[in-house]
Amino acid sequence: MTVSGNENKKVAVLGAGMHEWGKWGRPFVEYGLAAARDALADAGLGWRDMQFVSGADTIRNGYPGFVSGATFAQALGWTGARVSSVYAACASGAVAIANARAQILAGLCDVALVVGADTTPKGFFAPVGGERKDDPDWLRFHLMGATNPTYFALYARRRVDRFGASEEDFAQVKVKNARHGLANPYARYRKEVTVDEVLGSPMVADPLRLLEICATSDGGAALVLSSMEFARRHAGGASPLVTIDAVSTVTPTFPNTVIEMPNFATDSAAAFDSAGSETAGGFRPSIAAAAYAEAGIGPEDVHLAEVYDLSSALELDWYEDIGLCGEGEAEKLLRDGATTLGGRVPVNPSGGLSCFGEAIPAQAIAQVCECVWQLRGSAAGHQVEAARVAVTANQGLFGHGSSVVLSR
Amino acid sequence: MGEAGAVRARVPAVEGWFTTGDDGAPPALMGTRCEGCGTFAFPAESQYCRNPDCASTSFAPVELSRRGRIWSYTDARYQPPAPYVAADPYVPFCLAAVELAAEKLVVMGQVVGGVTVDDLLVGDEVELVVETLYSEDGTDYLVWKWRPLGSGQEG
């Protein structure tokens, strides 16, 4: 079901904007609005120019969060713009981008605003309230006490037992990302950490320590997207022009044999000959693969990547899942410095979730914002030199892939 | 503790997911096997088969294998939020994702009390048991857990 690459699938990114990540507990609309206004200003366009508004929903902020597109439109002032509001867990932002892109590519609109923002509670993410014995997300807490970090830790442990990853490797990911994020004005945490500090932080879910697990944050991110035709007519935009060349929002392929949050069990491969199957590696490797195929490129063409480091160890899984190296080779890639700023293919030059914490519906949009600034050469203090192609990757609960390829 | 000898009710913390072993038969997870294609499911499937090439709506209840091998494991050093019902004071526990060979699937569960991550390795064999998850108003609420089958170090 691979969709082939096509030059006509490009959309232009005219504007990118973010509200700083942090923990203030203010209404999510405030963060989204600030990001939207920044993106519009960056594009040199006004809110009244937007023909379509695509919101990424938050499920922890009541009804306004479930209809985020309309919530942001109302906050900006009703203009009659068409609207979409979408939830896809951590992939919500990518699906919001995909919806705007589809409208543009179908010729239904020329220019669209994409916004995602969140306000989050302290501590472990707990399930939405009420007793729901048919909801696996409720049941995994009730029956197993399986918090999000315990799932991340299952993947981390496999790297230790199968590939010889060390606690120091995981800590080095954190050290790298902390350094990357130092100069990023949107990052919540801008402080260098040492390996000793990481290894001295409390163990949360063995082998993952407190400083290696992504926090939950407030934040907002926005993009102004347009048709290539509109971008050519519109002279006010930033130079060079950055384009989105592919958006992958794939679901898993049966049988998905890697345990995933919030499930109790994987698919069964009993009725399936999985030898040599493309599903053998589980869901994650298929996410960026679909984006590469759509963009007509391969991982060797990528100059930087923004990946979802929900844990330090998970970033290493992503190196393999987006094709930067083979299975079991991520620790070597890290140790060689390839994924550090100045290396062959810097990963998370923004500082990643390690420096941001996760603002769920904003995060996939923020990944794209960072890539836009990197490709324009305007990521002051954390710039990847001469970057022309970037990829983002993330995975949302309940089978949501998210990967975006950008170029200039 | 007290009330030695008082009969406490034993109730599964979730209905229909496992047998408790209280009838003398060994406890087991209750899943289903698709009558169309043979795909297993846990928890039990009643509506649709997950195989995209199978449109069957018939699923036979089956007990899943009681033994498997650890796919991965971790622990919970801090008390999980509600709806987890934690002991007071909180006692950390291990979690394991266990690969069942016959069903070709991986199932999660807590590891029995008293085990730490230092006792576990990917690939170790474990066996399903039923233990109390929490107690409330004289009732023990039960759940399945994984018990390591020893690595030859036990006496």
Cβ of A56: how many Cβ atoms within 10 Å?
A: 36
Taking only the tens place, the pLDDT of each residue in B92-141 is 999 999 999 999 999 999 999 999 999 999 999 999 999 999 999 999 99
Taking only the tens place, the pLDDT of each residue in A337-379 is 999 999 999 999 999 999 999 999 999 999 999 999 999 999 9
pLDDT at B150: 78
Domain contains A140: no
Closest Cβ opposite residue B74 in set A139, A157, A272? A157
Three-state DSSP state, A159: helix
Please state, in angstroms and rounded to a whole number, the distance separating the CA atoms of residues B18 and A215: 35
Contacts of B76 in chain A (CB under 8 A): 145-147, 150, 205
What are the backbone dihedrals phi and psi of residue B10, each rounded to the nearest 5 degrees, phi first? -115, 115
Taking only the tens place, the pLDDT of each residue in A12-43 is 999 999 999 999 999 999 999 999 999 999 99
CA distance to A280, B115, B117, B145, per residue, from B111 (Å): 27, 7, 10, 5
Contacts of A311 in chain B (CB under 8 A): none
The CA distance from A122 to the nearest CA of chain B, in Å, is: 11
Domain contains A131: no
pLDDT at A237: 57
Q: Over 80: is that where the pLDDT of A105 sits?
A: yes
Close Cβ partners of A182 (under 8 Å, ≥ 6 residues apart) = A190, A191, A192, A351, A381, A382
| B153: confidence class by pLDDT, cuts 50, 70, 90 | very low
Domain contains A128: no
| A120: confidence class by pLDDT, cuts 50, 70, 90 | confident
The CA distance from A201 to the nearest CA of chain B, in Å, is: 13
Query: How many domains, chain A?
Result: 2
A to B CB pairs, distance under 8 Å: 146
- A382 shares a domain with A289: yes
Contacts of A142 in chain B (CB under 8 A): 13-14, 83-85
- A168 shares a domain with A66: no
> Rounded to 5 degrees, what angle do the CA atoms A75, A70, A119 make?
70
- A158 shares a domain with A86: no
- A225 shares a domain with A261: no
- A314 shares a domain with A231: no
Indicate yes or no: CB of A157 within 8 angstroms of CB of B72.
yes
Portion 220-259 of A in contact with B at CB < 8 A: 254-255, 257-259
Q: Which residues pair with A113 in a beta bridge?
A: A53, A224
- A170 shares a domain with A99: no
Taking only the tens place, the pLDDT of each residue in A234-258 is 865 567 999 999 999 999 999 999 9
Q: What is the mean pLDDT of chain A?
A: 94
Within A12-67, residue ranges assigned H as helices are: 28-43, 62-66
pLDDT at A278: 47
Q: Over 90: is that where the pLDDT of A153 sits?
A: yes
- A386 shares a domain with A254: yes
Please state, in angstroms and rounded to a whole number, the distance separating the CA atoms of residues B97 and A154: 8
Taking only the tens place, the pLDDT of each residue in A61-99 is 999 999 999 999 999 999 999 999 999 999 999 999 999
Please state, in angstroms and rounded to a whole number, the distance separating the CA atoms of residues A286 and A281: 8
Contact status of B142 with chain A (Cβ, < 8 Å): no
The CA distance from A255 to the nearest CA of chain B, in Å, is: 7
Q: Over 80: is that where the pLDDT of A1 sits?
A: no
Indicate yes or no: CB of A143 within 8 angstroms of CB of B143.
yes
- A206 shares a domain with A64: no
- B63 neighbors B30 (Cβ within 8 angstroms): yes
- A358 shares a domain with A268: yes
Contacts of B52 in chain A (CB under 8 A): 254
Closest Cβ opposite residue B122 in set A147, A161, A206? A161
Range of the domain at A377: 146-184+193-211+244-407
Contact status of B122 with chain A (Cβ, < 8 Å): yes
Q: Which residue of A has its CA nearest to B52?
A: A254
| B1: confidence class by pLDDT, cuts 50, 70, 90 | very low
- A388 shares a domain with A253: yes
The CA distance from A375 to the nearest CA of chain B, in Å, is: 39
Indicate yes or no: CB of A141 within 8 angstroms of CB of B83.
yes
Contacts of B40 in chain A (CB under 8 A): 268, 270
Indicate yes or no: CB of A161 within 8 angstroms of CB of B86.
no
Indicate yes or no: CB of B73 within 8 angstroms of CB of A126.
no
Q: Is this prediction's ipTM beyond 0.85?
A: yes
- A341 shares a domain with A300: yes
- A316 shares a domain with A202: yes
pLDDT at A123: 62
Indicate yes or no: CB of A265 within 8 angstroms of CB of B107.
yes
The CA distance from B65 to the nearest CA of chain A, in Å, is: 13
Taking only the tens place, the pLDDT of each residue in A199-226 is 999 999 999 999 999 999 999 999 999 9
Domain contains A137: no
Domain contains A130: no
CATH number for the domain harbouring residue A328: 3.40.47.10
Containing A306, the helix (H) or strand (E) segment is: strand A304-307
Q: What is the pTM of this model?
A: 0.94
Q: What is the DSSP string of A175-208?
A: HHHHHHHTT-TT-S------HHHHHHSPEEETTE
Contacts of B80 in chain A (CB under 8 A): 124, 141, 145-147
Domain contains A139: no
